[in-house]
Amino acid sequence: MDKTSRSLPPLDLLPGFEAAARHLSFTKAAEELFLTQSAVSRQILALEEFLGVQLFERRHRALALTEAGQAYLRTVAPVLDHVREATRRLREPRTGHVLTVTTTLSFAATWLVPRLARFRKEHPRVDVRIAASGDVLDMAREGIDVAIRDIPQGHEPAGSIPLAGEHVAPICSAEYFEEARAAKRPLAKPEDLRHHVLIHVHDPTGKWPWIAWETWMESSGLEPFTTAGTLTFGQYDQVVQAALLGQGIAMGRMTLVSDHVRRKQLVVLFGKRQRLARAYHAIYAPGAAARPEAQQFVSWVRAEIASRE
DNA sequence: AAGCTACCGGTTCGTAGCGC
DNA sequence: GCGCTACGAACCGGTAGCTT
């Protein structure tokens, strides 16, 4: 097979390329890879010859990536990271007590991470790894044991375990609530929101309509109205943080903010929580349901949620 | 199985260019 | 001039494939 018919380059050249691109130095790449500078230089030359494009601009006492080199690095680096991670997972001692959990960034940041120490206390032999991502992952391929996701009603995958229904309600910090009352701008009824700043999640693609203020207003039978201002954040945990700091009124996802409400740091406004047609579920990866640590983790999440509802 | 050969990927050593 | 860089030639050792 000649090189023009090969779709992959010689794979042993890629770590040299990645290291040289990262350090922008053949010498430093060589030190990292326990090779000589010359060997790295030859690897890069061989790769460039295979690809038919120049990856580096050789300058005096300096190295720079060409545009092609930058583009190639953007693809190659994560692939090598994946291979390294997969290799590490295969080679690490099989203690059987490492549990990898994927969930959304918002659930990880606002619910899971603050409670994880409690799970560790109850199950000190289980090492939990959190892979927070909004993407739907291939659990088997990514080495994930358990996923926690909020799933629309009717779309639950077979075997998923319901954890908690999702409710939303306007929330603000207790201090903000009191100050608003003292300033004669009380938060007694939904219409009072017009005198306050509303905190939004930046959602240009409409992925999370159920936590949009517009949806809540519509469901509450309110005509759209302008408010004193808006604050917008990219992630839901930032929304919660802003509400805690008294920067305005946020749309509270009750499962995620229940601890703050219980500690009276956050106040649920207008006394009414809207139930959404979606709920948090735990999903086991194929084969993971039989692992005791996976069962322990899911049971613990259920118990934690139930105890705070 | 043993020997030969070609090839590959590495090293060593030397060269050249440039900035300080 | 020194120190750092990349590059190239010559060479070495291991391996795969072929021949006997």
**Tens digits of residue pLDDT in A115-147:** 888 898 888 888 888 887 766 666 766 678 899
Q: Where in chain A is the domain with CATH 1.10.10.10?
A: 3-91
Nucleotide nearest to A56 (CA to C1'): C6
Residue A75: partners with Cβ closer than 8 Å, 6 or more residues away? none
Q: Where in chain A is the domain with CATH 3.40.190.10?
A: 98-164+278-308, 166-276
- The token duo for A118 is 């409690």
Q: Which fold has domain A166-276?
A: D-Maltodextrin-Binding Protein; domain 2 (3.40.190)
Q: Round to a whole number and report the distance in Å from the CA of A32 to the C1' of C3.
A: 21
Q: Label residue A125 left, alpha or beta by phi (over 0 means left) and psi (-120 to 50 means alpha).
A: alpha
Q: Identify the CA nearest to A226 among candidates A267, A249, A184, A195.
A: A195
More confident residue, A52 or A159: A159
The residues close to strand C, meaning Cβ under 7 A, are A 20, 25-28, 37-38, 41, 44-45, 56, 58, 60-63
Average pLDDT score over chain A = 80
Axis crossing angle, helix A67-91 with helix A14-23, rounded to the nearest 10:
120
Contact (CB, 8 A) for A68 and A60 = no
pLDDT-derived band at A308 (thresholds 50, 70, 90) equals low
CATH number of A98-164+278-308: 3.40.190.10
Per-residue pLDDT tens over the stretch A35-73: 767 777 777 777 776 777 777 777 656 677 777 888 888
Q: Round to a whole number and report the distance in Å from the CA of A55 to the C1' of B14.
A: 26
Q: Which nucleotides of strand C are protein-proximal, with an atom < 7 A from a CB?
A: 3-9
Q: Round to a whole number and report the distance in Å from the CA of A141 to the C1' of C19.
A: 46
The pLDDT of residue A1 is above 50: no
Q: Which nucleotides of strand B are protein-proximal, with an atom < 7 A from a CB?
A: 9-14, 17-19
Contact (CB, 8 A) for A143 and A98 = no
